[in-house]
Amino acid sequence: MNDLLPRIKELLQWLGIGPAAFADEIGVARPVMSHIVSSRNKVSLEVVQKILSRYPDVSSGWLLVGEGQMLKDLAPLINDKKKDDAESTPTPPLQIEKSELRDKPSKVQVDVHDKDEVPPKKERQSRQLKKVILFYSDGSFEQYDH
């Protein structure tokens, strides 16, 4: 467990949270995490166990000794991609797909913007008011019959 701090900081950055929120997430006191991040204290085995318990996708080998990828599921994906690269063209990155989606209006947006008419409201059944009851904060009430 030598020099875990850079990997913990990388994990914090990847998660997009600060030390206090991370401490809350893994179930340790905020000062414990603050002291670890400021290099005042070293990471304890308990903290490592809590990180791995809360984030099961984080590779224990990566966290403990810096071997492999941060996430467990990345290794099979990378190996499969290397095997498939010779046989198929790679898929575009997810970021490109997201930007393409932002540029194209959805069907709902097109339908709403293309039609100038308002859909007709359902006709209400013939109703008549029969009774109104007003309740007051002191427990009293008034009733009006029509």
Q: Name the pTM for this structure.
A: 0.50
Q: Is 143:130 a contact under the CB 8 Å cutoff? A: no
List the chain pLDDT tens, one digit each, 146 residues: 458 899 999 999 999 999 999 999 999 999 999 999 999 999 999 999 999 999 999 999 999 998 888 888 755 545 555 555 555 555 444 444 444 444 444 444 444 444 455 555 556 567 787 888 887 888 787 888 77
Q: Is 15:24 a contact under the CB 8 Å cutoff? A: no
Output the pLDDT for position 99.
44
The residue to which tokens 């791995």 are assigned: 52
CB burial of residue 35 (10 Å; 0-12, 13-18, 19+): middle
